[in-house]
Structure 1
Amino acid sequence: MTLAEKIIRLRKEQGWSQEELAHRLEVSRQAVSKWESMASVPDLDKILKLSQLFGVSTDYLLKDDAAEETGFAADDETPDRGRTVTMEEANAYLAQAAQSARRIALGVGLCILSPVPLIFLGALSEYGKAPIPEHAAGSVGVTILLLFIACAVALFVTEGFKLHRYEYLEKEPIALTYGVAGMVEAKKEQFAPVFKSAVVTGVTLCILSLVPLLLSAMGENEFLTACCAALLFLFAAAGVFLIVLRGIVWGSYARLLEEGDYTPENKAAEKRNEPFHAFYWCAVTALYLGLSFYSNAWHRTWIVWPVAAVLFAGLQALRNARKE
Structure 2
Amino acid sequence: MSDVIRTYISGLFTDLPQTPEVERARTELLQMSEDKYQQLRADGSSDAEATGRVITEFGNLDELADDLGIRDAVGGEETAPLALTEQEIDTILERSLRGARLVAAGVGIIILGVALLVALVDRGPVPFVIGMVGMLVAIASGVGSIIFGASMRRGLERIGSADARVPAEILPKLRPALERAEQRRTIGIVAGVALIILGVAFPIVVPLLAPERWVLLGASALLVCTAIGVYAIVSSTMRHGAYETLTTPWRTHLDQAQEDESWSGPGGTVAAVYWPVAVLVFLSWSFIWDAWDRSWIVWPIAGVAFPVVVLITRQITLARGTSDTTSGRTGRS
Question: Cα distance 1:228–1:14, how it changes in 2: closer, same or farther (>3 A)?
Answer: farther
Residue 208 (structure 1) shift: 1.5
Unaligned runs of 5+ in 2: 12-38, 261-265, 290-294, 327-333
Amino acid at match of 2:57: D
Q: Contact 2:99 / 2:151 at 8 angstroms: preserved in 1?
A: no
Q: Which amino acid aligns with 2:41?
A: D
State how many pairs are aligned: 253
| 1:266 counterpart = 2:255 | yes
89 and 9 in structure 1: CA distance in 2 versus 1, 3 angstrom threshold? farther
| Residue aligning to 2:57 | 65
- Determine whether 1:149 maps to 2:139: yes
1:217 Cα deviation from its structure 2 partner? 5.9
Deviation of 1:158 after TM superposition, in Å, equals: 3.2
Listed as ranges, the matches of 1:218-297 within 5 Å are 221-258=211-248, 264=253, 266-267=255-256
Question: Structure 1: which amino acid aligns with 2:188?
Answer: A
Distance 1:318 1:166 in 2: 17
Q: Read off the aligned partner of 1:89 and give its amino acid letter.
A: E
Contact 2:112 2:223 in 1 (8 A): yes
> Which residue in 2 is equivalent to 1:88?
87
SS of alignment partner, residue 238 of structure 2? helix
After superposition, the Cα gap between the structure-2 partners of 1:81 and 1:263, relative to the gap in structure 1 and judged at 3 Å, is farther
Task: Find the aligned partners of 2:88 and 2:97 in 1 and give their Cα distance.
Answer: 14
Q: How many Å separate the matches in 1 of 2:55 and 2:168?
A: 13
Unmatched segments (≥5 aa) in structure 1: 16-40, 50-57, 126-133, 272-276
Query: Could you say what secondary structure the match of 1:258 adopts?
Result: coil
Corresponding residue of 1:111: 110
Instruction: Work out which of the residue numbers 129, 135, 138 in structure 2 matches 1:139.
Output: 129
Q: CA deviation at 1:94?
A: 0.9
Give the CA deviation at 1:247.
1.6
C-alpha distance in structure 1 between counterparts of 2:216 and 2:207, whole Å = 10
TM-score (norm 2): 0.57
1:10 to 1, 6, 10: 6
SS of the equivalent of 2:57 reads coil
Determine if contact 1:113/1:233 at 8 Å carries over to the other structure. yes
Paired with 2:170 and 2:258, the residues of 1 have a C-alpha distance of 26
Q: Which position in structure 1 is the counterpart of 2:20?
A: none
Residue 244 of structure 1 and its aligned partner are, at CA, apart by 1.6
Deviation at 1:85, TM superposition (A): 4.4
1:198 and 2:188 correspond: yes
So what's the TM-score if we normalise by structure 1? 0.58
1:44 paired with 2:36, answer no
- SS of 2:165's equivalent? strand
AA in 1 matched with 2:87: E
Q: How far apart are the structure 1 equivalents of 2:287 and 2:127?
A: 21
Change in CA separation of 1:298 and 1:139 when aligned onto 2, cut-off 3 Å: closer
> What's 1:183 paired with?
173
The worse-fitting range, judged by mean Cα deviation, of 217-226 and 143-152 is: 217-226
Which amino acid is 1:96 matched to? R
Q: Provide the rounded CA distance (Å) in 2 between the counterparts of 1:218 and 1:44.
A: 70
